[in-house]
Amino acid sequence: MKQLEELRGVGPKRLETLAKNGITSLGALLAALPLGYVDALNPTPIERLTEQVHCVEGLILESPRRHYYGGKSAVKARIGDGSGVLSVTWFNQPWMSSQFKKGDSLLIYGKVGFYQGMANMVNPRKIQRRGIEPIYRAMPGLPGKTFSALARQALDSMTDECAETLPQWFRDNYGLCGKRFAWEQAHFPQSQTLLDQAKRRLAFENLLLYQAALLAVGQRGQAGLPLKGQEGDLNRYWSALPFSPTDGQRTALQDVFDDLNSGYAMRRLLQGDVGSGKTAVAFGAAWLAARSGYQCAMMAPTEILAQQHAASAAKLLSPLGITSGLLTGSLGTGERRAALGHIADGSWQLIIGTQALISDTVSYQNLGLVITDEQHRFGVRQRQALAEKKGGEAQAHMLALSATPIPRSLALVMYGDVEVSLIQEKPPGRLPVKTRVVPEGKRSQLFDYILAGAKRGEQCFYVCPLVEEDEELNAKSVKETYQYLKKGPLKALRLGMAYGQQDNADKTHAISRFAAGELDMLVASSVIEVGVDVPGATIMVIEDADRFGLAQLHQLRGRVGRGDKESWCFLLGQPNDRLQVMTQSDDGFFIAQKDLEQRGPGQFFGTLQHGHGLPDAFGVGDVRLIEETTRCLKSLAQDPKQGPFLEYLTGLSRDVFGSVFNSGRH
């Protein structure tokens, strides 16, 4: 079998690009599966087009024309198929004007929109032939055609035996095709039926190995620290708070209390909608740990969220005699030295922070409970590394919080074998956020509403799906929108900007100024989805709302409505059934269920990933397949004869997903 560098067309530069994307062998190359497929077998008649992605075939009705708008080129054409006419525009692709002429047949694929009743596509993908065409992740200097050619060479140099990782008896038991055949059909599908077979095989193996890896690093069922709580502790905690808990909060903390006193290490996931009061339950768990003489570490995904938790802890737990402190990467040398001292000598009972909590320089006196907020933003190894800070045989207890409601079967794959508690109601008095879909023609009225809100002292989040401008995606970007609003319709307001790749100090400064009321508007990416509590924010605007999953739209909407004023969420886009779901309910569990129904579990699952390390391959969101692989792994674990095979799978899982458990990107 060839080496990667022996493939035709792979020079030092491409080899470096592949390596940067985690591809260092032929197996890794073939495991870099397509992001999706264009089904060009059955193009949609133009008269039946809807505001979705479609494949269309028709004749060019007139030769393409080149135009210029503000220095940008645009090639326009119209195609017809006898049932209707579709307008097509390619921005910044002037060569498209010479690619075809009047009367030519054209097969294209893209997102359909409507303007003044006419269907249109912007920057559609030109399809070479009828069939099923894979779409690959973009890599610099490696267009899809080139990657496909490399995959072809890799397959041609590989035998069935060389590619295979699962024995024949196992494949027969679970109806799985061979791995080389699966790779062949994944990259060069001959039919939908064969592609489905390939998806099942690759997804089954991916999920099985991922869960085997979780099992290997998981500690469920192991002895836990003996916390000797009294039932009266719960009532004392709740009565000390300045509000009455909901029934859901009481039940969740009771679940935690029972786990902490079970003798086994707690592994619990607490799910609750935005604003349901998960933090109060988490602080209750910290109180229970402190009552038994143990420290608690609470890890948040952003500094802003960690700071807000620290402020809340000081307010709620100090009256109960619980000392707390903050540890983040931005602390000065003196502040950090003092914080490390308070952690080491036990004078801080609750330590709140970011990933700084797991650095080698942090030494806990008696760590007994680990809490991770917005659990899906951390890698498995990060969460486990914090628990292992305790040392010794008995494991620290772990409580994970998530505001994104997900089915238990998906939770199993994301977090391992956990127990799940739900908080399904919100605290009384919280006003629901009103939601409206705003079409392009109503944009000026929206700006007027934002300006009026600013005069009343109300603030606005303005979220865009992209950070940089991208003509191919034809979506609004943070930087472009910030400049447009700042110089145009909202120039009278104080604007700030925040996005994920921004310098951390600049991002934190912008968000902090907004939280302090020094800015009227924060133009941001979805980075503000988690960890920004601004009671003065009453307006959420989301550009190109259709590019977000419903679950993510709901998370973003939850950033407003946290004060006592009426709040609104405006979804910019063409009204459709999917976006209308957001106007029907503010119940996150209802929204998540609709997201699953409308987009399928795979896409829904993708919205939860945020880079936490789940495999990119097929099927990570197939609920039935998750359940099947879970049963498979349990049966292997319970059969003493399968010990060697289970050990083999565990070793294989480390090879495949080792980086997942060592890094936990986010």
pLDDT at residue 481, rounded to an integer: 92
Q: Is residue 252 part of a domain?
A: yes
**Among residues 423, 448, 467, which one ends one of the domains?**
423
CATH number at residue 87: 2.40.50.140
pLDDT top residue among 235 and 623 = 235
Q: Is the pLDDT of residue 602 over 90?
A: no
| Rg of the chain (C-alpha set) | 27
Q: Is the pLDDT of residue 606 over 60?
A: no
Calculate the CA 530 to chain-centre distance: 11
Q: 168 near 47, Cβ under 8 Å?
A: no
- The number of beta carbons lying within 10 Å of the beta carbon of residue 6 is 11
pLDDT at residue 475, rounded to an integer: 62
Average pLDDT, the chain: 84
Indicate whether 455 and 549 sit together in one domain. yes
Q: Is residue 304 part of a domain?
A: yes
- pLDDT-derived band at 648 (thresholds 50, 70, 90) equals very high
Rounded-to-integer distance, Cα 298 and Cα 265, Å: 17
Q: Is residue 561 part of a domain?
A: yes
Q: Is the pLDDT of residue 51 over 70?
A: yes
- pLDDT per residue over 263-275, tens digit each? 888 888 898 887 7
Give the three-class secondary structure for 560: coil
Rounded-to-integer distance, Cα 245 and Cα 251, Å: 10
- Please, what sign has the CA dihedral across residues 140, 146, 149, 153? negative
DSSP codes joined into one string, 410-432? HHHHHHSS-EEEEE-SPPTTPPP
Indicate whether 630 and 535 sit together in one domain. no
Indicate whether 545 and 446 sit together in one domain. yes
Q: Is the pLDDT of residue 236 over 80?
A: yes
How many helices and strands (H and E) does the chain possess?
22, 22
Q: 353 near 367, Cβ under 8 Å?
A: no
pLDDT at residue 664, rounded to an integer: 38
Q: Is residue 211 part of a domain?
A: no
- Residue partners of 230: CB distance under 8 A and separation at least 6: none
Q: Is residue 287 part of a domain?
A: yes
pLDDT at residue 341, rounded to an integer: 96
Indicate whether 449 and 573 sit together in one domain. yes
pLDDT at residue 623, rounded to an integer: 63
Indicate whether 392 and 510 sit together in one domain. no
- pLDDT per residue over 440-450, tens digit each? 889 999 999 99
pLDDT at residue 471, rounded to an integer: 44
Q: Is residue 256 part of a domain?
A: yes
pLDDT top residue among 166 and 218 = 166
Q: Is the pLDDT of residue 629 over 90?
A: no
Q: Is the pLDDT of residue 613 over 50?
A: no
Q: Is the pLDDT of residue 661 over 80?
A: no
Q: Which residue has the tokens 């065409």?
A: 133
pLDDT at residue 612, rounded to an integer: 35
Q: 170 near 42, Cβ under 8 Å?
A: no
Indicate whether 69 and 153 sit together in one domain. no
Indicate whether 109 and 149 sit together in one domain. no
What is the four-CA torsion angle of 97, 100, 104, 108, rounded to 10 degrees?
Answer: -80
Q: Is the pLDDT of residue 600 over 60?
A: no
- The number of beta carbons lying within 10 Å of the beta carbon of residue 467 is 18
pLDDT at residue 252, rounded to an integer: 94
Q: Is residue 91 part of a domain?
A: yes
Indicate whether 452 and 520 sit together in one domain. yes
Would you say the pTM of this structure is higher than 0.75? no
pLDDT at residue 70, rounded to an integer: 67
Q: Is the pLDDT of residue 380 over 70?
A: no
Q: Where are the alpha helices (DSSP H) in 345-502?
A: 380-387, 408-415, 443-455, 478-487
Range of the domain at 410: 231-423
- pLDDT-derived band at 392 (thresholds 50, 70, 90) equals low
pLDDT top residue among 154 and 414 = 154
Range 583-588 average pLDDT: 86
**Among residues 106, 126, 146, which one ends one of the domains?**
126
Q: Is the pLDDT of residue 374 over 60?
A: yes
Indicate whether 16 and 46 sit together in one domain. no
Among 387-391, 587-591, 644-648, the range scoring the smallest mean pLDDT is: 387-391
pLDDT at residue 663, rounded to an integer: 39
- pLDDT-derived band at 595 (thresholds 50, 70, 90) equals confident
- Residue partners of 455: CB distance under 8 A and separation at least 6: none
Rounded-to-integer distance, Cα 282 and Cα 320, Å: 15
Output the six-digit token pair for 594.
Answer: 């609709």
- pLDDT per residue over 247-300, tens digit each? 999 999 999 999 998 888 888 889 888 778 899 999 999 999 999 999 999 998
- pLDDT per residue over 71-85, tens digit each? 678 899 999 999 999
Range 322-339 average pLDDT: 92
Our count of domains for the chain comes to: 5
C-alpha distances out from residue 293 to 226, 288, 337, 367, 652, Å: 10, 9, 24, 9, 41
Output the six-digit token pair for 353.
Answer: 């922070």
pLDDT at residue 598, rounded to an integer: 65
* Max mean pLDDT range (355-364, 425-434, 488-497, 522-531): 488-497
Q: Is residue 367 part of a domain?
A: yes
Q: Is the pLDDT of residue 665 over 70?
A: no
Range 138-150 average pLDDT: 88
**Among residues 110, 126, 142, which one ends one of the domains?**
126
- Please, what sign has the CA dihedral across residues 509, 515, 519, 520? positive
CATH number at residue 271: 3.40.50.300
Q: Is the pLDDT of residue 620 over 60?
A: no
pLDDT at residue 201, rounded to an integer: 94
Indicate whether 282 and 304 sit together in one domain. yes
Indicate whether 168 and 273 sit together in one domain. no
Indicate whether 13 and 148 sit together in one domain. yes
Query: Which residues in 84-242 belong to E strands, given as ranges?
Result: 85-91, 105-115, 118-122, 125-126, 132-135
